[in-house]
Chains A and B, each alone.
Chain A
Amino acid sequence: MKRRALSTVVGAVFFVIVMTGTISYVSYSMDLIDSLARSVEIKQTQDIDRNKEEAEITAVSIDNNKFNLTLKNTGNIPINVTRLWAENQTDSSWNHTKYQINKAVFPGQTETNIGQNIALIALDSQSYSLKLSTERGNLFTVQALSPQGKAIKMNLFATPRSVLAGQNVTIWYGVTNNLTDGSILKLITPQIEDPPDATGSASAGLKVGPIPATDESLTHGETAFFKWVYEIGGDEGDTVTFNATVNNAKQGNYVTDPIRIVAAPADLTGFIENAGKLTATYDSLEWAQGATGGWRSGWNLDNNAATVFRMNITNNDDTDTFYMGEDTSIVLDPLGSSPQIFYVGSTATTDPPNIIAYTDLSQTISPGQDLRVYFGATTPGGGQEEKTPAGTGIQVTPILFFGKLCSGGGCPDSGSDYGQNIPFLGILITN
C-alpha cells in the first residue's frame, strides 16, 4: 500500500503542476481581457472628450501686424490649443503655414492675444482663413476678411432729410456682417466722401466724426454704427448727397443718402403751415427701462424691454387748444420688420416702467404752451407697457399726434380733427 501511495503522490505532483500552468494561463487571459477593457474605456473617454470640446473664436483683429485672436471655451472641459494654421486668401502664392501656440483655455475662460507671439506678418488689406487646432484633434476655423473681400450690408441715414441752411445734419452709418459663412470682418474703418456731392450752392462742413473712428471686428449678425455731424449751407432746393463706405471696401460697395435744403419760414405762421402746429423739444426726450436707473436721456435703448418715454410738446397755434387723442403715439420702426407702437399714457413712473392708462382727449396743450407727454402703452387707452423691438439696430422713430383743435365753447366736441407727424431723431436699439 505504501508503494502504491508513492505513485499517487507523484501523479498528484504532476497534476498540481499542470493545474498551476492552466490556472496561470487563465489568470493571464483574464488580465489581458481587463487590459483590453481598460483600453476600450480610455478610447471611449477620449472620444467623448473630443466631442465635448466646444470653443468659439469671438474676435479677430490685426494688431501691430500680428493676428490677435480671441478664443472662448464654451464647453465644460479644458482645451489645449496646439497650433494656428494661416491661409492667405488674398495672396494665393502664400503657403499654408502652421505655428505652435500651446495655450490652455479652461471652461468659461477667454484666451486673448492668440497669434501675437508668432513670427507671422499679417496685413489689414488681406483676407485670411485661420484655424486653431487642439490637442484632442478638433479644429476651430474663422475667416478674417478684409472688407474688400466681399460686399457687405451697409445703411446710411441722414436726419433730418429736409433742413434749413445753417442747420446740422446727423449722418448715421451702419455696417452689418451679413456673411453667412461665419466670417469675421476685421478693422472696420468708416469713410465718408468729404465734401459730399452737392447741387447749386449747397455746402456741407464736417463738424464731428466719425464716432467711433473704427471697429475692431464684427462677427456674423453684428452691426457697427458710426456717426458724423455736418453743417449744411445753401439755397432752397439744393441737395447734398452723402456717400459712405468702409476702408478697403469691395468696389461698388457703398451707400448714399441725400438731403434737401428747404426755405426758412418767413414767420411763425408760415412755419406752422409748413411744419405743423405741434413741435417737439428734442432734447427733452427721456425714457425708462429696467428695474433701476429712473428717467434717462440719449438714444441707446435695450432691446425687448418694457419702456416708457416722455417728451415736451409745444402747441404753436395762436388760438386753438390741442386736445390730445388716445391714438397719439411714438412708433419705433426697425426698417424691415414690424414696428412697435408706444401709445400715449396719462403719466408714467419708473423702476420698473409703469404707464398709466390715458382717457381720450383728456389732456390739452393751450396755445403757445407746452406739455410733457408720456408714451408706453401697448394699446390706445391701455395700461400695459410696450416692449422695444427684439431686433437691434437703427429705428426710424416718428411721433404721431391725433386729436382736436378747438377754441371757444363746446370743446373738444366742437373742434376740428387734427393729426400730425413729427419726424424724430433715430433711436438705436442694442442688446
Chain B
Amino acid sequence: MKWFRIGTKRGLSSTVTAAMLLSAVTVMGIFVVGWSQSNLIQHQVALENTFSDKMNKLSEQVVYENVWLGTTPSNFVNVTLVNVGTVGLNVTEIEFDDGSINNVFTITDGGIVSGQVYSLEKTFLWTSNPINIFTTTARGNIYTTQVSPP
C-alpha cells in the first residue's frame, strides 16, 4: 500500500500548486509585457510624430523677397518667396486680399527646398487699396505681408 503514503500525496499537491503558480505568473507576465510594449510603441510613435511636426514647423521660415504689382495685360500680382529655413517646405495656398477683393489660390507645385525661391504670378484686379498677402504651408504656418499699389 505504498501508493497511499501521506508523504507522497503532499509532494504531488505541492508540485501542482507550484506549476499553477508558475503558469499564472507566466501568463500574467506575458500579458503585462505585451500590453506595455504595445502601449509604449503607440505612444512613442505618437510622440515622435508630434515632435517631428513641431520641430519641422519651427524650422520653416519663408520671406517675401519680391512682390510686383503689374498691369499688362491686366492687373496682376507676382510674388517671389524664398525659403530661408533649414527644412524644405510646401506652399499650399496663397491669398490676396485688398479689403474688397479676396482671391485664394491653391498651390500644387509649391515645394521649395532650403535656400531656393518660388514665384507665383496671378491675375488680381488690384486697385489703390493696400493688398494683404497670406501664404500657407503644408505644415500650417502662415506668412503675411502687405504691399501698396504704385
Chain A nearest CB from B2 CB (Å) reads 24
Contact B40 A13 (CB under 8 A): no
Task: Provide 8 A-B residue pairs closer than 8 Å at the C-beta atoms, listed in order of the A residue.
Answer: A14-B29, A14-B33, A21-B36, A22-B36, A25-B40, A28-B47, A98-B65, A137-B82
- CB-defined interface of B44-83 with A at 8 Å, one 1/0 digit per residue? 1001100100110011010101101011100000101010
List A contacts of B86 (CB < 8 A). 42, 46
With both beta carbons as reference points, the residue of chain A lying nearest to B29 in the complex is identified as A14
Asked if B142 CB lies within 8 Å of chain A CBs, one says no
With both beta carbons as reference points, the residue of chain B lying nearest to A39 in the complex is identified as B55
Contact B66 A13 (CB under 8 A): no
Contact B65 A32 (CB under 8 A): no
Contact B14 A3 (CB under 8 A): yes
Asked if A139 CB lies within 8 Å of chain B CBs, one says yes
Contact A7 B48 (CB under 8 A): no
Contact A98 B80 (CB under 8 A): yes
Asked if B122 CB lies within 8 Å of chain A CBs, one says no
Contact A7 B65 (CB under 8 A): no
A13 CA / B68 CA spacing, docked (Å): 69
Chain A nearest CB from B99 CB (Å) reads 24
Asked if A18 CB lies within 8 Å of chain B CBs, one says yes
Contact A96 B40 (CB under 8 A): no
With both beta carbons as reference points, the residue of chain A lying nearest to B119 in the complex is identified as A98
Contact B40 A40 (CB under 8 A): no
Chain B nearest CB from A251 CB (Å) reads 22
Cβ contact of A21, chosen from B22, B37, B51, cutoff 8 A: B37
Q: Which of A334-375 contact B (CB under 8 A)?
A: none
Contact B22 A137 (CB under 8 A): no
Q: Is the interface of A mostly helix, strand, loop or mixed?
A: helix
Cβ contact of A3, chosen from B18, B30, B58, cutoff 8 A: B18
Given A22-B36, A46-B61, A85-B66, the answer on whether A36 and B14 have CB atoms closer than 8 Å is no
List B contacts of A29 (CB < 8 A). 47
Asked if A227 CB lies within 8 Å of chain B CBs, one says no
List A contacts of B128 (CB < 8 A). none
With both beta carbons as reference points, the residue of chain B lying nearest to A28 in the complex is identified as B44
A157 CA / B95 CA spacing, docked (Å): 57
A59 CA / B63 CA spacing, docked (Å): 26
A95 CA / B28 CA spacing, docked (Å): 75
Contact A39 B58 (CB under 8 A): yes
Contact A7 B22 (CB under 8 A): yes
A42 CA / B60 CA spacing, docked (Å): 12
List A contacts of B72 (CB < 8 A). 93
- CB-defined interface of A132-173 with B at 8 Å, one 1/0 digit per residue? 010111010000000000000000000000000000000000
List A contacts of B29 (CB < 8 A). 10-11, 13-15, 17
Listed in ascending order, the chain A residues whose CB lies under 8 Å from chain B are 3-4, 6-7, 10-11, 13-15, 17-18, 21-22, 24-25, 28-29, 32-33, 35-36, 39-40, 42-43, 46, 50, 83, 85, 87, 92-93, 95-96, 98, 131, 133, 135-137, 139
Contact A96 B22 (CB under 8 A): no
Contact B59 A42 (CB under 8 A): yes
Contact A137 B84 (CB under 8 A): yes
List B contacts of A42 (CB < 8 A). 59, 86
Chain B nearest CB from A53 CB (Å) reads 11
Contact A18 B66 (CB under 8 A): no
Asked if B26 CB lies within 8 Å of chain A CBs, one says yes
With both beta carbons as reference points, the residue of chain B lying nearest to A136 in the complex is identified as B84
A328 CA / B10 CA spacing, docked (Å): 137
List B contacts of A98 (CB < 8 A). 65-66, 80, 117
A14 CA / B33 CA spacing, docked (Å): 7
- CB-defined interface of B129-140 with A at 8 Å, one 1/0 digit per residue? 000000000000
Asked if B108 CB lies within 8 Å of chain A CBs, one says no
List A contacts of B82 (CB < 8 A). 133, 137
Asked if B149 CB lies within 8 Å of chain A CBs, one says no
A278 CA / B76 CA spacing, docked (Å): 73
A334 CA / B63 CA spacing, docked (Å): 46
With both beta carbons as reference points, the residue of chain A lying nearest to B26 in the complex is identified as A10
List A contacts of B21 (CB < 8 A). 3-4, 7
Chain B nearest CB from A200 CB (Å) reads 51
